[in-house]
Structure 1
Amino acid sequence: MTQRTRWRLSGFGDEIDADPDVQVAVLQALGASAIEVRSAWGVNVVDLGEEQLAGLRRILAAREQSVSAIASPIGKVDVALPAEHELGRLRRAIAAAHKLGAGYIRIFSFYRKEDQSPESIRDDVLKRMRALADLAERENVTLLHENERHIYGDVPARILDLVESVGSDRLRLAWDNANFVQCGVAPHTEGWHLLAPYVDYLQVKDALAATHAVVPAGEGDGEVLETLTALRDSGYRGFASLEPHLTDVHNLGGFSGPAEFGRAARAFRALTAQIGVTLR
């Protein structure tokens, strides 16, 4: 009998509620064994104090909920800021990762001014990403670059340039179908063949090409089923992290609430069941 493929289901807890007790309760009700930590009690993860981190760790330990990643905002700033600005925030994200038992930290690859081209900021981006990767190597954590609109690494060719130019085993990719759609990219058709060797993590949402509206997985133009099938066929055994963005979207994230988060989870489960993947 062929062994069924299993992935770890996670999700952005703060898309459910500001209270981490509620976050974990809803995630577990949906069958998720992990949580992606972006904020708790309305405080971003890189700004949580020692007592808050200790309290969050107690909540997660009591419910036996692991942490799939620290969803930091690092790199969601203008590239003109000094490199030390984001290195300082990465140190705090690493402290949170160590405290909560997470091996991954999500990052981005910097904004530019409206009159700047991506090519004009490339060298500055690469210097900063190399410095971030150096710190990650020393601290034994893995950075996950998320593709997102308006940063340097928003489309497949620049993401490939970024990860290959930095050339660190501690800089890998978080794949987001919806964000590719919002950049005018057909994710699987145009990006998978380039980026698949570097993908370590899946963030789950979809989007409509015509309006850029975010929708549950499989209801948009993000070629989500094709991506999931390719991940299964590649032997992927990692995390699938729900980031629905169904009621609100803003620069630092989004919100769904328990009901809409549940709708997104059910849509994703329908797709994974279709291709024989079990979520746990």
Structure 2
Amino acid sequence: MSNAQNPTWTLSGFGDEVDPDPKIQAAVLTALGASHIEVRSAWGTNVADLDDDQVAELKSILDGAGMKVSAVASPIGKVDIGLPAAHEVNRLRRVIEVAKALETRYIRMFSFFRSADQTPEDMRDAVMERMGLLAEEAERAGVMLIHENEKDIYGDTPERVLDILETVKSPALRAAWDNANFVQVGVKPYTDAYAMLRPYLEYLQVKDAIAGTGLVVPTGYGDGELVETLTALSRDGYAGFASLEPHLAAQHELGGFSGPAAFGEAARAFRAVTDAIGITLV
């Protein structure tokens, strides 16, 4: 059993950063000691667009590999705020079906891109309306939305992430924490955000970044204050998922790619830090 003195976290990772083929995704993650996988796409198809047969095949492959799903890394909310609210609500309904078929309760999501002439304040009301509708849908379905602090969406700074969580006030909406994304918007993650958002932190996505360039690097090689963050989480008794999202070879609007070798590099860098802190990864 995990405790604050000897925490145990569950290692996962974005399978499509390894390879488009879920068989290879599962094999590499297993070799790196992960028991879970985060599903963003399979065979080059985003999780929101997989049909029932593909979902069933994916589940069969993962079951055969002894791999469970930590979260569905959906693109919900990674669209322009100008789209009708129903657009993402309808997409979420499909993603919920996929999450249930893959036997996970966590669905990663975002809080909408703004157009070039919009300020965050301009879009706030529309964001809160949409996030509220999405949270209601999730609550009815018995799943949990985890909001990722992606750059260039409404919730890309700690203050606006907090604004969303406090305004929506839903047990079905919590925070997915990403140190690198905070670095990319000029935030020092541990210094500026940890105390503010820790009460809502439900899920850890693991990547680091360099402040001057925004370049994503392995754990401990950037300015993401990962050692401080991981140490604080271990002391707080965090006992959830740690999901590797290395983005070491390419990154783009809907995701990133690393390849098996770079993914392994990211996993080893993360494990070196967790070993030093005294965190067990399973």
With the shorter chain as reference, the TM-score category is over 0.9
Find the counterpart in structure 1 of residue 215 from structure 2. Answer: 213
Report SS of the residue matched to 1:160.
helix
Give the letter aligned to residue 143 of structure 1. Answer: L
Find the counterpart in structure 2 of residue 114 from structure 1. Answer: 116
Match 2:35 to one of 27, 33, 41: 33
Report SS of the residue matched to 1:8.
strand
Counterparts of 1:76 and 1:45, CA distance in 2: 13
Q: Deviations over 1:69-91 (max 9, x none)?
A: 00000101011100111011101
Q: How many residues align?
A: 279
RMSD: 0.8
Give the letter aligned to residue 115 of structure 2. Answer: K
Q: Deviations over 1:35-89 (max 9, x none)?
A: 0000000000010000000000101111111100000001010111001110111
Give the letter aligned to residue 79 of structure 1. Answer: I
Mean CA deviation greater in 2-11 or 154-163: 2-11
Matches for 1:244-259 after TM superposition, within 5 Å:
244-259=246-261
Find the counterpart in structure 1 of residue 102 from structure 2. Answer: 100
Counterparts of 1:18 and 1:112, CA distance in 2: 30
Counterparts of 1:92 and 1:227, CA distance in 2: 34
Runs of 4+ in 1 over 6 A off after TM superposition: none
Find the counterpart in structure 1 of residue 197 from structure 2. Answer: 195
Counterparts of 2:218 and 2:65, CA distance in 1: 27
Q: Deviations over 1:244-273 (max 9, x none)?
A: 000001000100000000000000000000
Counterparts of 2:141 and 2:100, CA distance in 1: 9
Report SS of the residue matched to 1:10.
strand
Counterparts of 1:228 and 1:219, CA distance in 2: 14
% identical aligned pairs? 62
Report SS of the residue matched to 2:80.
coil
Counterparts of 2:259 and 2:91, CA distance in 1: 28
Q: Which runs of 5+ in 1 are unaligned?
A: none
Q: Deviations over 1:99-118 (max 9, x none)?
A: 00011000000011111110
Shift of 1:145: 0.2
State the TM-score, normalizing by the size of structure 1: 0.99
Mean CA deviation greater in 82-91 or 2-11: 2-11
Give the letter aligned to residue 215 of structure 1. Answer: V
State the TM-score, normalizing by the size of structure 2: 0.98
Find the counterpart in structure 1 of residue 138 from structure 2. Answer: 136
Counterparts of 2:102 and 2:214, CA distance in 1: 34
Give the letter aligned to residue 253 of structure 1. Answer: G
Match 2:147 to one of 145, 153, 156: 145
Given the alignment of the two structures, is residue 235 of structure 1 paired with residue 224 of structure 2, yes or no?
Answer: no
Matches for 1:9-158 after TM superposition, within 5 Å:
9-158=11-160
Q: Deviations over 1:185-204 (max 9, x none)?
A: 00000000100000000000
Counterparts of 1:229 and 1:124, CA distance in 2: 37
Report SS of the residue matched to 2:58.
helix
Q: Deviations over 1:217-248 (max 9, x none)?
A: 11000000100011111111100000000000
Find the counterpart in structure 1 of residue 172 from structure 2. Answer: 170
Counterparts of 2:6 and 2:28, CA distance in 1: 26
Give the letter aligned to residue 148 of structure 2. Answer: E
Shift of 1:207: 0.2
Give the letter aligned to residue 178 of structure 1. Answer: A
Shift of 1:4: 2.6
Give the letter aligned to residue 148 of structure 1. Answer: E
